[in-house]
Amino acid sequence: MPTEQQSIALLLIAHGSRRPEANADLVTLATQVRERSDFAAIEVAYLELTEPTIPQGIAACVQPGIENVRLLPYFLSAGVHVIEDLEQHRQDAEKKYPHVTFELCPPLGLHPKIIDVVLDRSEESLASRET
């Protein structure tokens, strides 16, 4: 029996960097999310400085059977890029693909699990100095 997520694509969006290794983090994240989810498609895109661009990522998500594309900002806060830039991309996508619903997810922000990440990273820093 198909799950609801089989009609949903997830587009992970990062700022983008001139450093390929920084951009590779998002690709690695997408691979790990694919392993733990049933989304029909999981793609990556970057706001600037590298490709795929957000319109390219959206186009990759719009496949037969996709009814919904979730745009997930891999950003820590809802700054200008999320509130204005990504929202504009969402609106543009709705105009270009009227048969698909596009949702802009909240950024990572103050999600309760971020506290655990902050504490874990702090401990990793301490452990690296002790070795």
Annotate the chain with three-state secondary structure.
CCCHHHHEEEEEEECCCCCHHHHHHHHHHHHHHHHHCCCCEEEEEECCCCCCEHHHHHHHHCCCCCCEEEEEECCCCCCHHHHHHHHHHHHHHHHHCCCCEEEECCCCCCCHHHHHHHHHHHHHHHHHHHC
Whether the model clears a pTM of 0.85, i.e. scores above it, the answer is: yes
Query: What CA–CA distance (Å, rounded) separates 72 from 2?
Result: 23
pLDDT in tens, the chain (131 residues): 456 678 999 999 999 999 999 999 999 999 999 999 999 999 999 999 999 999 999 999 999 999 999 999 999 999 998 999 999 999 999 999 999 999 999 999 989 999 999 999 999 976 777 65
At 6 the pLDDT is 82
Q: What pLDDT is stored for residue 51 in this prediction? A: 97
At residue 3, the pLDDT reads 60
pLDDT at 100: 98
* Amino acid 1: pLDDT: 43
- Number of Cβ within 10 Å of residue 46's Cβ equals 21
